[in-house]
Amino acid sequence: DVKVTQSSRYLVKRTGEKVFLECVQDMDHENMFWYRQDPGLGLRLIYFSYDVKMKEKGDIPEGYSVSREKKERFSLILESASTNQTSMYLCASSLSVPTTDIQYFGAGTRLSVL
Amino acid sequence: SQQGEEDPQALSIQEGENATMNCSYKTSINNLQWYRQNSGRGLVHLILIRSNEREKHSGRLRVTLDTSKKSSSLLITASRAADTASYFCATDGGSRLTFGEGTQLTVNP
């Protein structure tokens, strides 16, 4: 079974802090994704990566950056956390075609920015 | 705007009843997927239906796709309390997989 592991289930940070959310997948998938999920807004794509060191902006990249130095690891970085970034963050991976392949999700990180 | 939109937003039924959720989308697709999310957890893939398929089954799940109406439905038969979750459709009509806002299903024991 594919396993996508997010480093933290719950995280509390202060405004202005630099925040790292880590995601690791164990199935040699090409694509990795970061979403945020807010009530009434569904899942919104922040960034995705289709290869090591390659990244593409999603629908809401402002205030975020990503890093993919190794195939299995995809990090989401909040350079200076703000209260409006309080949300549930979901990482996902898929095999090869980002638009059509099944996505496998981690358990999510609930981030609170105070 | 979201490619896929689920309807209803919330559904509450009794155990043993069937649950039907609908998804409408705007542009042509290659496939449509349904996912489930238990409260506070990640999404889990349920079923994928290709644009040239009209119906697909998996256990107690039945998915239909009507490309002329740009809509899909997910039917869960003989529901159980453990089916309580949010259900999302995802479409590939754009440059990436796009998720709807989900239907919250509550199955009462």
Best CA proximity match to B102, nearest among B92, B83, B87:
B87
Q: Is the peptide bond before B109 cis (omega within 30 degrees of 0)?
A: no
Mind listing the pLDDT tens digit for each residue in B62-84? 999 999 999 999 999 999 999 99
pLDDT of residue A28: 92
Contacts of A99 in chain B (CB under 8 A): 30, 92, 94-97
Contact check, Cβ <8 Å, B96/A45: yes
Q: Name the strand (E) or helix (H) holding A20.
A: strand A19-25
Q: Which amino acid is at A36?
A: R
Residue B94: pLDDT band with limits 50, 70, 90: low
Write out pLDDT tens, residues A34-45: 999 998 888 999
Asked if pLDDT for residue A112 goes beyond 80, the answer is yes
Put simply, the answer to whether B97 touches A98 (Cβ < 8 Å) is: yes
pLDDT of amino acid A101: 86
Tell me if B45 and A102 make a contact (CB, 8 A cut-off): yes
Asked if residues B4 and B91 have their Cβ atoms less than 8 Å apart, the reply is yes
pLDDT band at residue B3 using 50, 70 and 90 as cut-offs: low
B47 touches chain A (CB under 8 A): no
B17 reaches A (C-beta below 8 A): no
> Parallel, antiparallel, or unpaired for β A109-113 and A10-13?
parallel
- Amino acid B103: pLDDT: 94
Q: Is the pLDDT of residue B2 over 70?
A: no
**What pLDDT, on the 0 to 100 scale, is given for residue B1?**
38
- Checking if the pLDDT of B19 tops 90, the result is yes
Say which range, A43-47, B2-6, B9-13, B54-58, has the weakest mean pLDDT.
Answer: B2-6
